[in-house]
């Protein structure tokens, strides 16, 4: 089973990297960018019997820092383009 975990900064947490990317994009001449937030994508391949609870625990215990980050778990269906 393929899983994608998106880790993003919570609302209200400043994102210096997002700001720098924003600035850099504008430096390249792109306009109309209102805001940039950066995050992290973690892809995992796990056995089908790994429970949702376990995946959730993996996020809470290691993959995301719950002080500053949120996470979102997405199961990638078979045959989907990865």
Partner 1 sequence: MKSAVITFPGSNCDRDMAVAIEKTTGKAPARIWHGESQLPGNFDLIAVPGGFSYGDYLRSGAMAARSPIMNAIVKAAEHGTAILGVCNGFQILTESLLLPGALMRNAGIDFVCREVPLIVENTGSSFTKAYQQGEQIIIPVAHHDGNYFADDETLDRLEGDGRVAFRYAEPVNGSARNIAGILNAKGNVLGMMPHPERHIETLQGGTDGVRLFKSLAQSLLEAV
**Which of 16, 27, 29, 79 is the binder for partner 1 (CB under 8 A)?**
16
Nearer to partner 1, 13 or 50 (CB): 13
- State CA 60 to chain mean position distance: 13
**Which of 31, 35, 61, 78 is the binder for partner 1 (CB under 8 A)?**
61
65 counts as binding partner 1 under rule CB under 8 A: yes
Q: Which residues, including other chains, have CB under 8 Å from residue 15's CB and lie 6 or more apart?
A: 9, 36, 37, 38
Q: How far apart are CA 32 and CA 10, in angstroms?
A: 23
80 counts as binding partner 1 under rule CB under 8 A: no
């Amino acid at each position: 089973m393929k899983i994608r975990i998106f880790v993003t900064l919570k609302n209200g947490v400043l994102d210096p990297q997002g700001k720098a990317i924003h600035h850099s994009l504008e430096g390249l001449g792109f306009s109309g960018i209102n805001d940039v937030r950066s995050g992290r994508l973690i892809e995992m391949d796990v056995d089908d019997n790994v429970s949702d609870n376990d995946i959730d625990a993996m996020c809470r215990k290691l993959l995301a820092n719950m002080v500053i980050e949120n996470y979102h778990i997405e199961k990638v269906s078979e045959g989907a383009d990865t």
